[in-house]
């Protein structure tokens, strides 16, 4: 019978008081907001990203989608355009906010009272790099990373593949939201 006994978690461990991370202002003295971040380039956002964002929104109080500003990488959409599209597409969730960041993700987390990073794992190939990043982020700032397995409908899907297929006239409907589909068509027509 002893093996069936439910052992309570260590004091404070569910609310994060067990570690030495300083609490953000709004977290002091009241229930802690469980705020997580979904970081990425989102150039453009796909239904695979959206699946992870919506599932995170169902689990946590607040989800911050953080668009990486990477001046060295050539993108199809500007950061402003990506933020705008993400804002419109995720407006229906109510607890999803879109931000932009550059530099270290752990610094963005510290500045915004974020305790965990949510990452989608598509395939084993994602795992090695993601695990290294997760361990480094924990080592640097005790920021946790939580992995969500991709919806099998989207396990093959990436922004770069969407762009490549669309560029050569392939059909990407069903892989990206309608708004992205029309923006992609416009942008690629401009480039011709």
Which are the catalytic amino acids?
A: 49, 73, 122, 159
Q: Contact between 177 and ligand ADP (CB under 6 A)?
A: no
Would you say 74 and 185 are in contact if contact means Cβ atoms under 8 Å apart? no
Smallest separation (angstroms) from ligand ADP to the CB of 61: 21
Where do the DSSP E strands lie in the chain?
35-40, 62-68, 96-101, 116-121, 144-149
Q: Contact between 158 and ligand ADP (CB under 6 A)?
A: yes
Q: Contact between 48 and ligand ADP (CB under 6 A)?
A: yes
Q: Contact between 137 and ligand ADP (CB under 6 A)?
A: no
Q: Contact between 101 and ligand ADP (CB under 6 A)?
A: no
Alpha carbon 124 to its chain centroid, in Å, reads 19
Interatomic CA distance for residues 88 and 44, integer angstroms: 13
Q: Contact between 183 and ligand ADP (CB under 6 A)?
A: no
Interatomic CA distance for residues 171 and 118, integer angstroms: 29
Would you say 26 and 33 are in contact if contact means Cβ atoms under 8 Å apart? yes
Q: Which span (42-50, 58-66, 73-81, 178-186) binds ligand ADP, by CB under 6 A?
A: 42-50
Smallest separation (angstroms) from ligand ADP to the CB of 140: 18
Candidates 75, 137, 145, 150: give the one binding ligand ADP (CB under 6 A).
150
């Amino acid at each position: 019978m002893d093996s069936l006994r439910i052992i309570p978690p260590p004091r404070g461990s569910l609310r994060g008081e067990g570690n030495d991370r300083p609490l953000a202002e709004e977290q002091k003295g009241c229930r802690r907001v469980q705020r997580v971040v979904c970081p990425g380039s989102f150039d453009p956002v796909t239904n695979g990203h959206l699946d992870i964002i919506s599932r995170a929104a169902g689990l946590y109080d607040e989800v911050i989608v953080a668009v990486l500003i990477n001046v060295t990488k050539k993108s199809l959409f500007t950061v402003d355009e990506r933020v705008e599209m993400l804002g419109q597409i995720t407006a229906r969730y109510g607890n999803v906010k879109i931000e932009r960041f550059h530099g270290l993700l752990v610094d963005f987390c510290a500045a915004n009272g974020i305790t965990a990073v949510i990452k989608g794992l598509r395939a084993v190939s994602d795992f090695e790099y993601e695990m290294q990043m997760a361990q480094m982020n924990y080592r640097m700032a005790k920021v946790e990373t939580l992995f969500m397995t991709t919806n099998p409908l989207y396990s093959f899907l990436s922004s770069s593949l969407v762009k490549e297929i669309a560029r050569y006239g392939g059909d990407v409907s069903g892989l990206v939201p309608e708004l992205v589909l029309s923006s992609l068509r416009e942008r690629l027509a401009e480039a011709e």
